[in-house]
Chain A
Amino acid sequence: MANETATIPDTLRAKAQEKHWPLDLVQQALGAGATAEQLIGYMDQGVSADQARQFLAAQGGAAAAVEPSPELKAKAEQAGWPLELVQRALSMGAAEEDLARYMDMGVTAEQAAQFMTGGGAGAPELDLSWMQVPTEWNTRARPTKHGLTLQGINIGKYGEVPDVWEYQTEMPRGAVPIAGVEGMGYSIYQKQEVWSDACAPLYEEAIQRRWRPATDVPWTSIEPLPDDLERAICQVCTHLSEKAQVEADVLGRWEPEISYGYHEVKLYLATVIFEDARAVEVFRKRALSNGGGLGLQAPGWSFRSVVDARNFSEMATIQFVLQDSLTLAQYAYGEKYARNAAEKYIFTRAMQDKARHIAYGITHLKYTLLHRTDRREEFHRYLDKGEGMLVMDDTKDSATREAFAIYFGGSRENIAEGLRLHDAMRRRGLEQYLARLKWATLGRDDRLHPGLRAFIGQ
């Protein structure tokens, strides 16, 4: 029974007033054994006062017999539940639809009776209180042309993504918290730090547009190439494989930092990691499939700007917006100069994956700038640093540049033309990078690193 004298802490009292829970109900709940933290959690989850009363009544209250509807009577008869049992359950506060659901689920009359009496001596004890957990019920997500998508299940409370997520555990968004669960050690609890409205559709797109290097790539279309050309494509593949591995490693470190309230972001990043793994795989396979092998490791200056990033948005902007813009240009040029159907296939599919990564990065940047205009200069500084490291790579990584040039030019003899094409590739990547930043409201034409500006003729 409720303890009428239970003391209500100030934080709980304030929350109860905000959520329109009468104080007598709060006292009753405290008296029944709930903690203040649990009750605040229920209120934040949207549990109404009426739902709470019903829940408490079902736990121990007793009232006059309630007559079930004819439909429930019929269902009870079919399920073998005596009428008296149904009346008793209703009088204890159970809802008709809940009882009907239990019957449909195969809960026997004996189990129900045991539950209502708190379990009989010698009988297996059942705790079915979870069946009355006050989450939003009667949720019916419907599939669309795209199937049953993440966007499709974001309805009611389940679709409300808070600006700040208050739970440190792995509790799914929309579930009811319980006390005593250990924290997960997340460090990201603010929506603006990770969010993009495109996450859910990008996740679905990534899942639907997946491909399998082992069997989808027409590997037998690769024929022997002149030695210089094979060495060039192998060096290019070494670079692209290494770069994808770094991205996967970095993202793998950030995943556990993001709290569960933003599961769309966590899910989408999981697909990016998977796609990076696929890039590692497919470029390595290409290097080892035609008589060549791997080439030189990259100096990795630009890798450091993402590896060393101290906050998620810093990493995401440098990785997904700056570096991926240039990687996408590499894939696009790789597709153009592919020597066989296998390389054509590889670069086309890698291009599709990479464009999704950019879509996340640029929509996240725009979301953050929209909600935190004070961070604008901060992002410029991250990009200053990222671009500077990229220029370092340009000056140090002659292997990658020369390999691309031979691949594009077709031979070592034609490397001058190849270098011209390499610069054209860099120009295209940078122009698209600036166009994307402009879309995200972070115009940067005047601030681009001088070492990169040279490529676009400014």
Chain B
Amino acid sequence: MPTFPSVEWFDTIKDIVNNDPAFRQLGTVDAVVGIKVEHKIFEVTFEAFECTKVREASENDLRDMDFWLEQSYDQWKDMLTNIREHGAADLSHTLNTIDLNLPEGFARSHDGYRRDAFYRFNQSIQDFFNASAKIDTQFAPMEAVTA
């Protein structure tokens, strides 16, 4: 049972979408996306029709990413639990909805142009997280992400 957040968890999701013809049918995705969970940061790379790489990253790496998704750990858990319960994000838990709900935004970037990758590949990134409905996610203790 993969633990969120971890490289193992993202790798599991990566394998699911890379083996899902529906993900490929959404079209090409070329983006380097950061996932920020409190102090933990991960980099997920999408290239052409697949997710090609997952790695743990640092605060400095954020500058080189197209955008990163950032919310509190509790909000991450809420989002993933909702996806697990509904098989996909419901109407109020999509990435875009969360982005508009957060004063600072969910998708953040240092680059006014590259940030738009969040919009251009929105459904693919959404499906990436929706794939987590297919696994039993174990959530790491709060200390693990705030240390």
Contact = CB atoms under 8 A, between A and B. Distances in A.
Interface of A: 144-146, 201, 204-205, 208-210, 328, 332-333, 335-336, 338-341, 344, 348-349, 351-352, 354-356, 358-359, 362-363, 428, 432, 435-440
11 contacts: A205-B28, A209-B26, A332-B96, A335-B97, A336-B100, A348-B126, A351-B122, A352-B121, A356-B120, A359-B120, A362-B113
A453 B13 CA distance: 43
Interface residues of B, number: 25
A344 B120 contact: no
Given A333-B100, A336-B96, 10 more contacts: A145-B49, A146-B28, A201-B30, A204-B28, A205-B27, A332-B100, A335-B94, A336-B97, A435-B115, A439-B111
B113 A209 contact: no
Nearest to B48: A145
Contacts of B48: 144-146
A273 B42 CA distance: 38
Contact of A359 (B49, B96, B113, B123): B113
B91 A338 contact: yes
Contact of A432 (B49, B101, B112, B120): B112
Nearest to A331: B119
- A-B pairs, top 10 by smallest CB distance, nearest first, are A209-B27, A435-B112, A355-B119, A208-B27, A439-B112, A145-B48, A355-B120, A439-B113, A208-B28, A336-B97
Contact of A351 (B47, B96, B111): B96
A335 B96 contact: yes
B38 interface: no
B129 to A, nearest CB: 14
B119 A352 contact: yes
Contacts of B120: 205, 352, 355-356, 359
Interface centre among B94, B115, B120 (most CB of A within 10 A): B120
A48 B28 CA distance: 40
